[in-house]
Structure formats: C-alpha cells, structure tokens
A and B are shown apart, each in its own frame.
Chain A
C-alpha cells in the first residue's frame, strides 16, 4: 500500500523527523543530551509490513472468494508467527497477536511517533494501519505525515480525518500523508535537486529543530498542517464538504475552508511563516485556489485588515454562506418512483454515508443544478470578499 518511489530520507540513517529526538533537551538531568541511535526505519518496518501484506492477501482472498482449511491455517500462522524486528536499542520478537511486543518495538523504532492501528472489519477479520504522526502541541489535532501501511478495506470515513487510538483515547488526527509524494515532487522542482536531509537542513522552510537534520517534506507538511489545515478543516464541515464533493460544487468547498481558516486560524502567525513552498503547496499539491489566492495576498495585509478579516468580515460572510447553503438544502427535488417533491436536506441527511449512490441522480435534477449555480455564486462572492478585503 505504501508507495515511495524516491526512497525515504528518514530511512537513510537520519534521525527521525518527529518525536522528542529533535529536541536538544537533557531532561533536566544535567547530562549532555545523547541523540538516539540512528535507524533505517524502512528496513526496521519491512518485516512487519511484509507480514501484514501477506496476511491481508489471504484475508482478502477469503473474504471475496472463500477458501479451504489451508487458508484458515495460513491465516492463523501469519497472525501468530513471531517476526524479528530490530529497534534502535534492542531486537524484538513480535507477532500480530502480541500487541505489547509490537507496541514496544514501534515506540523504540519510531520514538513514539509510529502508530499501528487495528480495526475489526465487517467480516470480523482485523485490518491494519501503520503511520507516522507528528504532534502539534499547540493545536487541536496531531498530524499524520506518512503512511507506511494500510490494509485494503481499512475503514476511513473521511479521508481528511482518521481516528487513532492514542493514550487510551480515540482522537482525530489530520491526515496529510496523501500529499506526501506530491509535496516531495514539488520541493524537488522548486530546489532543482533531490530532497535529502543533508541538502535541506532545518530552518530552510521553518523554525523547528535547530541543529538537527529534518525531513523537508515533513517540515512542509507540518507547516501547512499547523498553520492552515488545523483551522481550515473541521469535523463539523462534513455535510457541506460531502455535498460539495458529491454534487460537484468545488467553489463551496473552497469557500468553507477559506472561511474556517480566517475564523479559526492565526493570520498574523501565518503571515509570518509564509513561504513560497507553502503557497505552491496549495497551487500544486492540494489544489485550493481560494486559499492559494489568499496566501498570495496575505503579505500585503496589515494588522488592521487582518483584524477586519477575522473579526468582522469572515463572521458576516459565514452567516451569508450558511444562509445560501440553507436555501440550497430547502430545494425541492422530484424524487422516487412517484416523482414526489422531497426537500434536498432529507435526501442528504438520510444518505450521508452513501451519498455516492444518489449523487448522480441528484446532479441531473434541474432544481439542484439551478440551486447549485446560485450557491456557487454565493461561495465565489465569499471568496472574492475575503481575498480582496478592500
């Protein structure tokens, strides 16, 4: 599942990009800080990923084609078979049925940044998701910056958010890992060379981890996540975002994210850390023309304008956009065998988990099309007002 054609800079003997390893902190002991032993994370995780991949191959076969006694025995063996895993400090013998050993290895190898999640599918079989997380201690969500493995069929309702069990609680994490490869390509284009920690020491793109080499891709994802996505994405947007995505209303989605960014984000801080790669991220990787336009204009805004944007204009436009969306939901749609008129909100809320099944029919409805045009115009007006506040 994991595809990293250009190789992983983390796996080239560097220190990890996240966790406590990048802080020069002696823990208050008075002794000089000793960096953790370097590790090839790719090589360390490879046996575990291979085991998961083999297990998932058999599982999918059993789920879709059925099987025999042999497949049951093989599955049992793969779940119980010990795998030798090399951590930073010791060697572990772990199996998928031994969570304690697995967790110990992952904490050792990833310095508490690796998360292995297991979910029970409808068939009753377990599915796995292995990722790397970067904590953002000042914000609501932590960021998933890299996916190592994801089982086929692993449940993920909203690709922007993922539930991870952390410290005994299930918490939402922002999932930025899908942008990782495109981010790497973008940085390479920008710098005209291959991205390695040696070429891009810390401080090039941000201010984290002075003195230690940092994965530039991680860094850019972190900057985008901390300063923009933390504010622009929220679980409450699910209805609007799903409707925009399924009913082909791209401007609405852009307007929602831009409004949330201005309402919840710290625009002064964003203006301070703004960089060319960050602007290009929203032009090439996560294509969001509204935010990209806003970021391009942001350095021109003075403090009064920023204050006006977040305190006054965004709130007013939020109400306006909500009103437009409400009118959109009130549209009567000719629906069902008898073509009776049903308000759109009933169809949306009743089918929120399977909107793709009715989206085609809804898009073809003239009433929805017309109302969508009006809503898109309102969204565009919102974006224009935000981007050109004068």
Chain B
C-alpha cells in the first residue's frame, strides 16, 4: 500500500509537467524541489507521510498546487487497485512516468534522472527517449490528445521554450541542442506521416468509426458531431400584400432579471399612475356564436297563409353571428416593445414605465401576458441577428410570476440598441401569442417610436408598408379575435395607423418625462374601450 501510494504521489506532479509549468508553490513535496523530477524524488521520499491538504479541494482554486492536491485526493482511493511499484533499479524512463503520460509529456522529461543530467549522459540516454506506447497507464483526469497531435504540441511547446532566454540552462535535464533537434525532427516527421497514413483519405467519406471514437474519447462531454442544430433561430414566414411570401430568421431569449430593489421601487413609483388607470381596463375573452332569429310576418301579409305560397323559407329565419363573452377562455395580452437604436433615453424610460404599468395592472386578472423587446444583437460569438428578448413569457422566462417578471424591466438598456426588424419580430411574437391563446382573443399593445425598419428586402417595400401588411394579414387570419393598440412614443402628428388599428395612443415628445400626463391619455383610452367591453360583459 505504501509503495502504491508513493507512486500516486509521484504521479501527482504530472499536471505541472504535462502543462509545461514550473511547480513553484509551497506544497509539501515541492517546497524544497522546484523542479519536477526532483519533486518526484522528494515525493517518493515522503512515502507514508500523511498528505496535509484537505480531502475536498475547492473547485474555484485554480493554481497548480491546488490542482496537484486535487489529483492526490482523487488518486488516493485508487492506489489500492494500482500495481505495485517496481523497486529494482531500472532506467528512470520506465520508473518515473507511466507510459502514456510520458508519451504525452515533454519527450525530454523521460530522459534520465537529474543525477544523470549532463551532456555525456544524455548523449546516450537520448537514444532511448520513447517509452512503450502500450505500457501501463494510470488513471488520468483528462484524456490526452492523439499521438500526432501530442507530438505536434510537444514540438511547438519546445520551440516556445527555446525562445525564452535562459530556460534551457535552468533545466537540470538539459539535453544538448543537437540531440534535441535530432529527436524533434524524428518526432515531427513521424507525426506528419501518421496523419497522412491514418487520417481520413477523402473529404467525401463519412467519418470513420475509429476516428469518431477517438474524437469522442478526447472531447469528453463536448457535443459530438451528431449534435447540433442546422438553424438555431426561428424561421418566420411572412406573407405580404399580393400574396408575396418571404421568410426570415429570428432568435429569442429571456431578459435577465434585475436584482436592484431601489431601482425596482423607483420604477414602480413612476409607473403607479399609469398602473392605476390601466387597472380599470377590461380584457374580456370573446366568442362568436352563430344564432338563428325567427322572423314573423306582420301587416297585410297573413302569416297563416304565407306558408302556402311558394317562397323561400329564409323569410322566416335570419342567421347572425353574435359576439359574446366567453368566461371559460383566457385572452392573451401581448406587449411588443420596440427596443431599437432609434429610441432615445426618454423614450426608453417611458417604454419601461408603460410596460410596467400594463404588466402590473393585469397581475390579479386571469389574462395571460406576453411581453417582449424586439431589436437586434449578438446571439453568440460570430453570429448576430434579429432578436426578441422576452420580458415575460410563461414558458420561456425564468420569472416565477408577473411580479417577478417586473424585475426584467430593470435590466433593459437605458437607450435602444440595434436595428429592429418590425414586421419579422411582430409576426414571430404574434405567432407565439397565438400558440398560447389558441382560439381566445389577443390584445396586442405595440410600443414604438414609429421609425419602422424593413425586414424583408426581397419584397421591395418600406418598413411602414411591411407593418401595414402584417396587421392586415393578422386581421385577415384572426378577425375579431385580435385587438390592436399602438402607443407611439415621442411622435408628433399622425402615425398613419389611425384608421387601421383599433386604438392609437400618441405620447408627445414633451410628455415622455411626465407619467401623469401619459396616464391621462391612457385614461382616455381605457374609457373608450371600457364602454364596448362592458356592453359585452353585460351580455347586451
């Protein structure tokens, strides 16, 4: 047991060796031996000494010495199942480093021991520099690279070391330059030949199973070649006026939740007047019921004799489709926020305040809420595109409830960012809302500065026309199940949608910093929609 543990402790310096670092920490076995080989000797000498470090090493500590301790802690239980250390005298090349690690470490490290160091010794020893490739292998934390990759890496690492002034003189196992060069050339040549002889022979071939196995073995839990997604985003199909079709790709992700309670209070206080007004807004779910009205003739026509004449039965009855409140269904409130770079700080502030108001006002209602900010941004390294960031989505955001979702508004940028694709993003958000609403009603609130951008250049239309097409297509598809409201932020004059959408609220530029004034406008809006909805609710 002692010898096996001794061997494990010897192995524990290997991460430093493999990574080419000089272990200069104050570990027990390395304190007096700053050089790896000497450290290995010291570790052997310390056989039987209890390791002073903790059994569990924090993963956050990343210095070499902590890695060594971690290796030791892991290897100690394994010592019982390892073969005994060979005690008879034999070349260090077979004793110190197991075959695999010696093979994958700096080739010069396997040449002789420090006492053998010196040009005379190495001139002979360097001729036996390669250990058996299939020798016994200790458990390793990380799979080593394949042989050709390793040999390449060794050569590169050695070249770097040579570039460091005085490094060669510091090494006790210093090999004469000529021998090292000779060895390196041999290794490099073999590595290149192996790659040519065993690599995939043609580009069109499938990956061979041995290469696939090796690749999977070396990459651990990294995604394999069978993983992946050809299109990471969502493909959105758009059908413009004249039935011209176009498609685009769009990505979505949730907004991070804010952690600042002070900012939460400030925004809540600012949005309170708007929230209070919006609480009165009603969002009934409507259903369309076909009804048959019986008609009865009157006046000079005798209803008793009429049915003897030849005439259509339609005169007796009339078909109507009547809208009624469906108390079973839950409508969806979709809040689409334009977050593009054209929004200035004040517009963005008002956008957050209004979003807050709408989300908070529906907190105790049965209505389902979807809120998203659409703009563009980085998806990942090397990929950017149109982006929808969900402020609240029952299935896609980490927030527990709508109260929690309000925290997402804290992390929104102070000004708009990126370039938005209006029609593309609205189409995607509406399709998400449709999936949630099923056959129920959708209330779409669009907060925008009305600076529309083109999404589908192939259609040859302006951004405004694309948005018009979007609304038109949405109305055609959903009919009365869609109710739209545009909140134009910082717009003077008309938006162009006044006769097109159900409601348009214009927040003038000077009102952007005054939530009270905006609340008054919102109050008018609420009052205008309340009448129709009350009538529906009362069943008239």
Instruction: Tell me the nearest residue of chain B to A119, going by C-beta.
Output: B210
**Is residue B451 within 8 Å, beta carbon to beta carbon, of the partner chain?**
no
CA distance A346 to B99 in the complex (A): 33
What's the nearest-Cβ distance from chain A to residue B130, in Å? 5
- Using A68-B129, A125-B198, A168-B204 as known contacts, list a sample of 20 further A-B pairs with CB atoms less than 8 Å apart, ordered by residue number in A: A63-B133, A63-B134, A65-B132, A66-B131, A66-B135, A68-B130, A72-B186, A73-B186, A76-B190, A79-B194, A79-B196, A80-B193, A103-B201, A118-B198, A119-B210, A124-B194, A125-B133, A125-B194, A155-B210, A165-B206
Binary contact track A64-108/B, C-beta < 8 Å → 1, others 0? 111111111101100110000000000000001111100100000
Q: Decide if A126 touches B197 in the complex (CB within 8 Å).
A: yes
**Is residue A367 within 8 Å, beta carbon to beta carbon, of the partner chain?**
no
A-chain residues with CB within 8 Å of residue B186 when the two chains form the complex: 69, 72-73, 76
Binary contact track A121-159/B, C-beta < 8 Å → 1, others 0? 111111000000000000000000000000000010000
CA distance A324 to B430 in the complex (A): 58
**Is residue A120 within 8 Å, beta carbon to beta carbon, of the partner chain?**
yes
Residues of chain B from 423 to 477 with CB closer than 8 A to chain A in the complex? none
Instruction: Tell me the nearest residue of chain B to A122, going by C-beta.
Output: B134
CA distance A345 to B130 in the complex (A): 43
Q: Pick the contact of B198: A67, A98, A126 (CB < 8 A).
A: A126
What's the nearest-Cβ distance from chain A to residue B90, in Å? 12
Q: Decide if B197 touches A97 in the complex (CB within 8 Å).
A: yes
**Is residue A354 within 8 Å, beta carbon to beta carbon, of the partner chain?**
no
Instruction: Tell me the nearest residue of chain B to A68, going by C-beta.
Output: B127
Binary contact track A161-199/B, C-beta < 8 Å → 1, others 0? 001010011100000000000000000000000000000
Instruction: Tell me the nearest residue of chain A to B99, going by C-beta.
Output: A66
What's the nearest-Cβ distance from chain A to residue B362, in Å? 54
B-chain residues with CB within 8 Å of residue A165 when the two chains form the complex: 205-206, 208
A163 touching B209 in the complex, CB below 8 Å, given contacts A69-B129, A72-B189: yes
Q: Pick the contact of A66: B128, B187, B214 (CB < 8 A).
A: B128
CA distance A125 to B191 in the complex (A): 9
What's the nearest-Cβ distance from chain B to residue A367, in Å? 28
**Is residue B247 within 8 Å, beta carbon to beta carbon, of the partner chain?**
no
CA distance A98 to B127 in the complex (A): 30
**Is residue B246 within 8 Å, beta carbon to beta carbon, of the partner chain?**
no
**Is residue A62 within 8 Å, beta carbon to beta carbon, of the partner chain?**
yes
By secondary structure, the B interface counts as helix
What's the nearest-Cβ distance from chain A to residue B212, in Å? 10
In order of increasing CB-CB distance, the 3 nearest A-B pairs are A124-B147, A126-B198, A97-B196
Give 14 CB contacts A-B under 8 Å. A62-B130, A63-B132, A66-B128, A66-B132, A68-B128, A69-B127, A69-B129, A76-B193, A99-B201, A118-B201, A120-B146, A120-B211, A124-B147, A165-B206
Binary contact track A53-66/B, C-beta < 8 Å → 1, others 0? 00000000011111
CA distance A103 to B190 in the complex (A): 22
Chain A interface size range: 35 or more
Q: Pick the contact of B133: A62, A69, A119 (CB < 8 A).
A: A62
What's the nearest-Cβ distance from chain A to residue B147, in Å? 3
B-chain residues with CB within 8 Å of residue A169 when the two chains form the complex: 205-206
CA distance A98 to B182 in the complex (A): 25
B-chain residues with CB within 8 Å of residue A65 when the two chains form the complex: 132
What's the nearest-Cβ distance from chain B to residue A150, in Å? 15
What's the nearest-Cβ distance from chain A to residue B196, in Å? 4
Binary contact track B91-106/A, C-beta < 8 Å → 1, others 0? 0011000010000000
**Is residue B126 within 8 Å, beta carbon to beta carbon, of the partner chain?**
yes
B-chain residues with CB within 8 Å of residue A69 when the two chains form the complex: 126-127, 129-130, 182-183, 186
Q: Decide if B194 touches A72 in the complex (CB within 8 Å).
A: no
**Is residue B138 within 8 Å, beta carbon to beta carbon, of the partner chain?**
no
A119 touching B208 in the complex, CB below 8 Å, given contacts A66-B130, A124-B148, A168-B202: yes
Q: Decide if A170 touches B206 in the complex (CB within 8 Å).
A: yes
What's the nearest-Cβ distance from chain B to residue A235, in Å? 13
Interface set of B (CB-CB < 8 Å, partner A): 93-94, 99, 126-135, 146-148, 150, 182-183, 186-187, 189-190, 193-194, 196-198, 201-202, 204-206, 208-211, 214
Q: Decide if B189 touches A73 in the complex (CB within 8 Å).
A: yes
B-chain residues with CB within 8 Å of residue A122 when the two chains form the complex: 134
What's the nearest-Cβ distance from chain B to residue A313, in Å? 38
What's the nearest-Cβ distance from chain B to residue A74, in Å? 10
Instruction: Tell me the nearest residue of chain B to A70, going by C-beta.
Output: B127
CA distance A100 to B189 in the complex (A): 21
CA distance A72 to B126 in the complex (A): 13
A123 touching B133 in the complex, CB below 8 Å, given contacts A69-B186, A97-B193: yes
What's the nearest-Cβ distance from chain A to residue B51, in Å? 27
Q: Decide if A123 touches B197 in the complex (CB within 8 Å).
A: no
CA distance A76 to B151 in the complex (A): 14
CA distance A386 to B197 in the complex (A): 50
A-chain residues with CB within 8 Å of residue B150 when the two chains form the complex: 124
Residues of chain A from 104 to 120 with CB closer than 8 A to chain B in the complex? 118-120
Instruction: Tell me the nearest residue of chain A to B135, going by C-beta.
Output: A66
What's the nearest-Cβ distance from chain B to residue A251, in Å? 33
Instruction: Tell me the nearest residue of chain B to A59, going by C-beta.
Output: B133
B-chain residues with CB within 8 Å of residue A63 when the two chains form the complex: 132-134
CA distance A75 to B193 in the complex (A): 9
CA distance A72 to B131 in the complex (A): 12
A-chain residues with CB within 8 Å of residue B147 when the two chains form the complex: 123-125
CA distance A62 to B194 in the complex (A): 14
B-chain residues with CB within 8 Å of residue A155 when the two chains form the complex: 210
CA distance A119 to B214 in the complex (A): 11
Q: Decide if B146 touches A72 in the complex (CB within 8 Å).
A: no
Instruction: Tell me the nearest residue of chain B to A168, going by C-beta.
Output: B205
CA distance A63 to B148 in the complex (A): 15
CA distance A297 to B209 in the complex (A): 42
CA distance A124 to B189 in the complex (A): 15
A-chain residues with CB within 8 Å of residue B127 when the two chains form the complex: 68-70
A-chain residues with CB within 8 Å of residue B194 when the two chains form the complex: 79, 124-126
Q: Decide if A118 touches B197 in the complex (CB within 8 Å).
A: yes
B-chain residues with CB within 8 Å of residue A79 when the two chains form the complex: 190, 193-194, 196-197
B-chain residues with CB within 8 Å of residue A97 when the two chains form the complex: 193, 196-197
Q: Pick the contact of A67: B130, B197, B201, B206 (CB < 8 A).
A: B130
Instruction: Tell me the nearest residue of chain A to B217, going by C-beta.
Output: A122
CA distance A73 to B183 in the complex (A): 9
A120 touching B189 in the complex, CB below 8 Å, given contacts A97-B196, A97-B197, A170-B208: no
A-chain residues with CB within 8 Å of residue B182 when the two chains form the complex: 69
CA distance A171 to B497 in the complex (A): 63
Instruction: Tell me the nearest residue of chain B to A61, going by C-beta.
Output: B132
Q: Decide if B190 touches A75 in the complex (CB within 8 Å).
A: yes
A-chain residues with CB within 8 Å of residue B93 when the two chains form the complex: 66
Q: Decide if A124 touches B146 in the complex (CB within 8 Å).
A: yes
CA distance A65 to B99 in the complex (A): 10
Instruction: Tell me the nearest residue of chain B to A69, going by C-beta.
Output: B186
Instruction: Tell me the nearest residue of chain A to B211, going by C-beta.
Output: A120
Instruction: Tell me the nearest residue of chain A to B93, going by C-beta.
Output: A66
What's the nearest-Cβ distance from chain A to residue B73, in Å? 24
